[in-house]
Amino acid sequence: MTKDDVKEFGDIRLERVREHVWEMPREGDMRVPARVLASEELLEQIRQDKTLEQLRNATHLPGMTKYAICMPDGHQGYGFPVGGVGATDTEEGCISPGSVGYDINCGVRMMRTNLTYDELKGNEEELVEALFANIPSGLGGGGIVESDVDTVDQVLSRGVDWALEHGHAVEADLAHCEDEGFRPDADPDAVSQKAKDRGKNQLGSLGSGNHFLEVQRVTDVFREDVATEFGLEEDQIVVLIHCGSRGLGHQVCTDYLRRIEKEHGDLLESLPDKELAAAPAGSDLAEEYYGAMCAAINFAWVNRQLIMHRTRRVFERVFGRDWEEMEMDLLYDVAHNIAKKEVHDVGGEERELFVHRKGATRAFPAGRPELPSAYRDVGQPIIIPGSMGAGSYVLRGGEHSLDLTFGSTAHGAGRTMSRTQAKNDYWGETVQEELRDQQKIYVKAQSGATIAEEAPGVYKDVDEVVRVSDELGIGDKVVRTFPVCNIKG
């Protein structure tokens, strides 16, 4: 091992295992080593905040298996780093709401169309105005569907099947969603009344922060055969939707963090960071949280489904054609911020694990039975958004993902700057004008502050994040897209 193969950042030591793989050796009370998957360029950005410290802390969680992992887009989060993956034993380990995060199933979906960029050109401003007028966004209430608590209970229990029954989906939407848009372990009774009250007025809304709806065009195709299986080709128009479980998911997390403080204070005291709050596997609290989390996952899937179906109607009005004629079909919907029970090979033994993916994306290769039949032979679509001034990517689950990352990869570009700093460094209206005048990207938001917070300069280079994923074989590049217009809260 040469000096170039060792990085020391204060009391944290990283050793290069191979290209793009850095290991933090086990020491002290660490239960397992930690690994960072990054190029040297990305590692230099990752080390700037508390990501590495948080990753080391995560190795202390009971039942942590193999190693705690930071993806190439990793940055500091609440307790567990964003871009973090950790698998804990479902019998002898724990489940950690702090390692899932507040916005449960903050995920992305992509909808294909048969429109080309040439067909859309000239309609950008009308389209962005129509989308902004018809897709609720921003803080607080207001959604596509006016609902009561009984409706919320149905959504929590049934997932996207509820949307199908009520005319907001078609059968193919379920067939192309992770888990067919339904977590069977969902328990609406484990979700508090306060959480349901927060969710009932937000069903079918983007929210604020980094959530958005973006119309994009396919600019590059890297794997023609896989792109064909995904129904993607150069110059095609697609729609990407990024949002989560809104106030309901946030309240679920808050409720269970508080309960852990009261009911499992001994476990909490044993952890180096109380924000990693966890409940012991098999405890009543762990079972209740899992049921509540799965219910919030269902809520988020319905939320994105409602937005997608409303988007179809907006396109109908703008382009004067039925959405079926424009072939506005769901490519895939993938969840972030979850902890799912999955079976993985660990040292030659099949074990059931809680796989925590906080700001990370499932990336299963071909052959996994959990995949929809449409993708079982080719591998799972992975959608990685960039900033609103850069490209996004569609990948497919790589053949090395199960071994290296419990079937996971990055979920985006990853921030390099806080929202407060972004608002100090950028002026929203200026960013908006530069995107329009220099790149022909039309952006509309509730406020200039939101645009400043999400300026292209506050994110890592998504091309570099995806290069690392592709070269490691955890997520293979399929196509690259580029923004046309974007709405956000």
Query: Was 387 annotated as part of a binding site?
Result: yes
Query: Was 413 annotated as part of a binding site?
Result: yes
Distance CA 458, CA 438 (A): 18
User: Tokens 């039949």 sit at which residue?
Assistant: 373
User: Tokens 């179809």 sit at which residue?
Assistant: 312
CB burial of 127-136 (b: ≥16 within 10 Å; e: otherwise) equals bbebbbeebb
Q: Which of 10, 11, 37 is nearest to 22 (CA)?
A: 37
Distance CA 94, CA 252 (A): 17
Query: Was 412 annotated as part of a binding site?
Result: yes
Distance CA 194, CA 192 (A): 5
> CA 353, 359, 363, 368 torsion: positive or negative?
positive
Close Cβ partners of 40 (under 8 Å, ≥ 6 residues apart): none
DSSP string, 124-181: HHHHHHHHHHHS--SSS---SS---HHHHHHHHHHTHHHHHHTTS--HHHHHTBGGGG
Other C-beta atoms lying within 10 Å of the C-beta of residue 408: 29
Query: For residue 337, which amino acid is it?
Result: N
Distances in Å between the Cα of 8 and the Cα atoms of 52, 59, 272, 323 are 11, 18, 21, 55
Query: Was 103 annotated as part of a binding site?
Result: yes
User: Tokens 């204070």 sit at which residue?
Assistant: 265
Torsion angles phi and psi, residue 483, rounded to 5: -65, 145
Distances in Å between the Cα of 136 and the Cα atoms of 22, 202, 292, 446, 484 are 42, 9, 25, 10, 20
Other C-beta atoms lying within 10 Å of the C-beta of residue 11: 9
Distance CA 430, CA 19 (A): 39
User: Tokens 């990752």 sit at which residue?
Assistant: 46
Query: Was 488 annotated as part of a binding site?
Result: yes
Name the 3-class secondary structure at 36: strand
Distances in Å between the Cα of 120 and the Cα atoms of 112, 113, 133 are 14, 11, 19
411 is catalytic: yes
Query: Was 385 annotated as part of a binding site?
Result: yes
Query: Was 242 annotated as part of a binding site?
Result: yes
Burial of 325 (0-12, 13-18, 19+ CB in 10 A): exposed
Tell me which of 60, 168, 309, 411 is the catalytic residue: 411
Query: Was 212 annotated as part of a binding site?
Result: yes
DSSP string, 246-306: HHHHHHHHHHHHHHHHHH-HHHHHHSS-GGG--EETTSHHHHHHHHHHHHHHHHHHHHHHH
**Which residues does the annotation place in the binding site for GMP?**
210-214, 336-337, 385-388, 392, 411-414, 488
**Which residues does the annotation place in the binding site?**
103, 210-214, 242, 336-337, 385-388, 392, 411-414, 488
**Which residues does the annotation place in the binding site for Mn(2+)?**
103, 211, 242, 336
List residues with catalytic annotation: 411
